[in-house]
């Protein structure tokens, strides 16, 4: 969630170009980050196909320190 809040400077520095091409997180994802976190952990299908599509192309959920 810190990456969605823009708090992971190393991630943004390393993936900034990719993140720009993917575009910002959908409003439904950022409107309530705690609700998003809970849905990702417990019932991601409730986020909807468009929102999950954004996550599918985005390295934002990768654990820190991984490269891909």
pLDDT digits (tens, 9 = 90+) for 27-42: 999 999 999 999 999 9
Q: What is the pLDDT of residue 32?
A: 93
**Tell me, what's the pLDDT at 65?**
65
Q: So what's the pLDDT on residue 67? A: 54
Residues of the chain short of pLDDT 70, as ranges, are 65-68
Q: What is 41-62 written as a DSSP string?
A: HH-GGGG-HHHHHHHHT-GGGS
CA angle at 42 for the pair 41 and 44, rounded to the nearest 5°? 80
Q: Which residues, 6+ apart, have CB-to-CB distance to 42 below 8 Å?
A: none
pLDDT of residue 39: 94
0.75 exceeded by pTM: no
Task: Report d(CA 14, CA 33) in Å as an integer.
Answer: 23
DSSP state of 68: -
């Amino acid at each position: 969630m810190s990456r969605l809040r823009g708090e992971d400077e190393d991630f943004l520095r390393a993936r900034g170009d990719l993140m720009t091409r993917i575009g910002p997180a959908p409003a439904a994802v950022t409107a309530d980050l705690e609700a998003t976190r809970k849905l990702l952990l417990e019932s991601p299908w409730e986020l909807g196909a468009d929102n999950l599509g954004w996550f599918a192309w985005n390295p934002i959920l990768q654990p820190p320190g991984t490269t891909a």
